Amino acid sequence: MNPAPAATKSQGIVRLEIPARAEWVAVARLAVAAVASRQRFSVDDIEDIKLAVAESCTNAIQHGLPDGTIEIVCEVTAEGIVLTVRDRGQGPPLGTVEEERIGELGRTEELGVFLIRALMDSVEYTSDVRDGTQLVMVKRVSG
Amino acid sequence: MDIKVNVRESEGDAYVVDLTGEIDVYTSPKVKDAITELIDKEHYNLVINLEKVRYIDSTGLGVLIGGLKRVREHGGSVNLVCTNPQIKKIFDITGLVKIFGIFDDEQSAMKALA
């Protein structure tokens, strides 16, 4: 799979690969927060980005292959940041969870995808048996 | 990154779970274990204090939801103490503000259990 084309000219790309294990997720979110801080994001926006990346890594761990890795590509653009997260698994269930249904107390599995969609400006999943799952998320600098 | 979990008995049959740190896919099992142990001991009125929690993700929310689900089966409740705006925002956008009692201080959370 190729990275999604950035909307504007790239100002820098950082690639990170972590073991698909729970103890590495904090490393991914802190590294991505450091990259995002190169852009003019607010503290709240950086927290959103951290959570979205962590959720995508968590999905990769929960739905990926055992002993796999997660590749995270952070591309800083003039408008914000493009984050691409790839793993070899089949990805999370992508059913759309409406806010009201989370309150039913039984829809926690899809909560991560719900959060990613709520916190980022655009989210695109692709998944297939050969290439695994790729999630491309964009956060734009507001204002 | 770690989470510190402290469980203490409060008024009546209520218990307070103080959490300090970050709740994510790595640390949430520790929180789940503490809540599960309380419920297994038939303590169904809980206050979970998130004042010193800097970060929570969907696995942490799932643990809280799971705990609430279990105590409600026994007529109990889980109230949260939360003052961190970022964490409040997560409860807000997921709609979980509608199912948890969320309070600014422990005293109010405890009072609302009664």
Size of interface A-B (CB pairs under 8 A): 70
Domain count for chain B, please give it.
1
Structural domain span for residue B58: 3-113
Q: Please indicate whether, in this complex, the C-beta atoms of B65 and A105 are within 8 angstroms of each other.
A: yes
Could you report the per-residue pLDDT of B49-82, keeping only the tens digit for each? 999 999 999 999 999 999 999 999 999 999 999 9
3-state secondary structure of A97: coil
**To which CATH superfamily is domain A10-140 assigned?**
Histidine kinase-like ATPase, C-terminal domain (3.30.565.10)
Predicted pLDDT of residue A64? 79
Predicted complex: ipTM over 0.85: yes
What mean pLDDT, rounded, does chain A reach?
85
Question: Among residues A10, A46, A12, which one has the least CA distance to residue A30?
Answer: A46
pLDDT at A104 over 70: no
Give the number of other Cβ atoms within 10 Å of residue B67's Cβ.
23
Q: Is the pLDDT of residue A6 over 50?
A: no
**CB of B57 less than 8 A from some CB of A:** yes
Quick count: other Cβ atoms within 10 Å of Cβ B10? 15
Confidence at A105, pLDDT banded by 50, 70, 90: very low
Q: Which of A102, A109, A113, A116 best probes binding to B when mutated, by most B CB atoms within 10 angstroms?
A: A102
Sign of CA dihedral A127, B27, A43, B78: positive
- The Cβ of residue B23 has, within 10 Å, a number of other Cβ atoms equal to 26
A58/B22 CB distance under 8 A: no
CATH number at residue B65: 3.30.750.24
Query: Token match 């274990």: residue?
Result: B33
Quick one: pLDDT at residue A128? 81
Cβ of residue B70 closer than 8 Å to a chain A Cβ: no
